[in-house]
Amino acid sequence: QKEVEQNSGPLSVPEGAIASLNCTYSDRVSQSFFWYRQYSGKSPELIMSIYSNGDKEDGRFTAQLNKASQYVSLLIRDSQPSDSATYLCAPRGTGRRALTFGSGTRLQVQP
């Protein structure tokens, strides 16, 4: 089992819709979770951090964490074509040297 699993996509949604991106992780003691956005040909950019169970909202973005199910998701409301990118999930494991990244989900927002 991979440490971090994401559906590679592409996930295609129409403009204005809600995009739902999901991530499961194997390390039960992961305490922190990060979502990165990576545009084609660019570097990953941190967009959300979540540390406790429940929801965290930041503008059009909501991160949801369920530690019991080892599941974290990112919802993007009112999706825009500019949201088209690959989204990387990165849980922080206890005693780890660095973040472990998923392979990412490619999101396409259709105008």
Binding site for another protein (CB under 8 A): 8, 32, 34, 42-46, 49, 88, 90, 92-93, 95-104
Toward another protein, which CB reaches closer, 88 or 109? 88
Q: Which two tokens stand for residue 68?
A: 């019991």
Toward another protein, which CB reaches closer, 75 or 99? 99
Q: Which amino acid is at 21?
A: L
For residues 79 and 109, what is the distance between their CA atoms, to the nearest angstrom? 7
Toward another protein, which CB reaches closer, 44 or 79? 44
Quote the DSSP letter at residue 93. Answer: P
At closest approach, how far in Å is the CB of 41 from another protein? 9
Number of Cβ atoms within 10 Å of the Cβ of 14: 10
